[in-house]
Chain A
Amino acid sequence: MERRVVITGASAITPIGHGKDQIVTSLLNGVSGIKTLREDELISRYIHSRVYGTVDYPIEYDFKRNHRKTMGPVAYYACQVAKEVLEQSGQTEEFITSGRLGVAFGSIHGSPTTQRNIYHVFFEAKEKSAYQGIGAVDYLKSMVHTTAVNITKMFGITGRVISSGTACTTSSQSIGYGYESVKFGMQDAMLCGGADEYDTITVAVFDNLLACSTAFNDTPHKTPRPFDKDRDGLVVGEGAGAVMLEEYEFAKKRGANILGEVIGFACNNNGGDLILPNLKGITNTLKLGVENANFNPQDVGLVSAHATATKMGDIIEAQAISDVFGDNPHVIGLKSYTGHTMAACGAIETIMTLYMMQEGFIAPTLNLEEVDERCAMIKHVQKTLQQPVETAAIQNFAFGGVNTILLIKKFS
């Protein structure tokens, strides 16, 4: 049994805004969400990269204490976008609690803020009483599936739970596995996404790998610079994104507002190095994706590239895009606006792509002033294009050699 899967809700908290109106406005106006790294009185002073994709606006939460007690900052983000998507999709409480709705949601490693508190107790503990500093709920806040199960708890969702924790492909896998769950009839709908909170440890990891941007510390909005000849690495960011995926006939029958359609997904592994980008692996991912969508690669109109703005990553991705899609599709790197929002990036970039599809424009890759000649074989977008987008591919690659591609289509 293969069923059509449509999107009936989408929301995101990003460094360039919360919700569709703010995000679209930022994309149309070339607004960067990259700000100066905040001091954490721990390791931030040693980090060379002084930039971060920051959510620096207030978010009004109205979660009850009973829910808040098991939530770290990452779960606040996750539950907020989940709440917005549930409201937007118009699903009834009867359906939400029926077991026919599941959740696919993840983060790269739960709540690092909570983990940091645990480590603090661990290293400072001199007396037995110190162990009381580890709260009964600290595990529930910091475990890798904290986002998914705080969502199920808050809304009484009783269907399956999938909680990928595959670094930068976490939420693209959430959407992909959610898509497969609905497509093959295991669930009638899936609430899918990912989130990550502000975390300097993640910056330190990439900084130590010499993968972070450091040349634009005084002008944060000038970095990251995907595909640009002056790019010098990625910028870590925070945020969350969620979509409601739903079986088409069910959505149609209940009169849901259909925003778009997921038509394909693929995931594979490079089968080797856990860090270095791999042309063969990525090329295979893209091929598998268009095969899965039963789609002619030449007909893909827009590619949202993973494009972290690392030296080698962008070159290899450009080659893979060229090899599979040719030079027909427009290619953009949305991390140029938000930074690399880690577990959230697949969902956020899917949602941004969906918004552009709905509004009929393509946002340019920010800071792409002079294309690196080694990335020049594809059709880059350097200024806003007012034109319809019918089909798009969203590509994401992760540490561990995990690659994903999602294919979405304008709903008609």
Chain B
Amino acid sequence: MTRQEIEREVKNVFQREFEIENPDMDADLRETYEFDSIDAIELLLAIETFLGTEITQEEKKQAISIRTINQICDYVEKIAKKRNLFSPA
């Protein structure tokens, strides 16, 4: 999975699950889109589904500090790399 594909999947999740289209990738999710802890849990489940891999409890706890969609993509990229699911281009 490339960075581009990760961004496309994350945007799909935001459109499908959170009704947020063409999101600002660097906007604060809480302030701009009223994104909250419940949404964060749903998002992690959606990421597990499109990556086809389980995210550990420890990894999930690391997601707490995420504030923007770009940071979400960084987080997904990191997990994908750990599991050899990431390709650079």
Contacts and interface: CB of A to CB of B under 8 A. Distances in A.
Interface of A: 64-66, 69-70, 129, 132, 135-137, 140
Contacts of B19: 65
Contact of B42 (A66, A129, A136): A136
A69 B38 contact: yes
B38 A140 contact: yes
Interface in B3-56: 18-19, 34, 36, 38-39, 41-42, 45, 48-49, 54
Where chain B touches its partner, the secondary structure class is helix
- The 3 A-B pairs of least Cβ separation, nearest first, read A136-B41, A66-B34, A65-B19
A69 B18 CA distance: 9
Interface of B: 18-19, 34, 36, 38-39, 41-42, 45, 48-49, 54
Contacts of A65: 18-19
A137 B54 CA distance: 20
Most buried by A among B18, B38, B49, B54: B38
Contacts of B45: 132, 135-136
Given A65-B18, A65-B19, A137 B38 contact: yes
Contacts of B36: 66
Nearest to A65: B19
Given A136-B42, A140-B38, 17 more contacts: A64-B34, A65-B18, A65-B19, A66-B34, A69-B39, A69-B42, A70-B38, A129-B54, A132-B45, A132-B48, A132-B49, A135-B42, A135-B45, A136-B41, A136-B45, A137-B38, A137-B42
Contacts of B18: 65
Nearest to B42: A136
Nearest to A132: B45
Nearest to B46: A132
Contacts of B49: 132
Contact of A136 (B34, B38, B48, B54): B38
A129 B38 CA distance: 19
B26 to A, nearest CB: 21
A140 B39 CA distance: 13
A17 B61 CA distance: 48
B20 to A, nearest CB: 8
Contacts of A135: 42, 45
B32 to A, nearest CB: 12
Contacts of A129: 54
A65 B36 CA distance: 12
B64 to A, nearest CB: 15
Contacts of A69: 38-39, 42
A43 B5 CA distance: 44
Contacts of B34: 64, 66
A132 B39 CA distance: 14
Most buried by B among A70, A136, A137: A136
Nearest to B40: A136
10 contacts: A64-B34, A66-B34, A69-B38, A129-B54, A132-B45, A132-B48, A132-B49, A136-B38, A136-B42, A136-B45
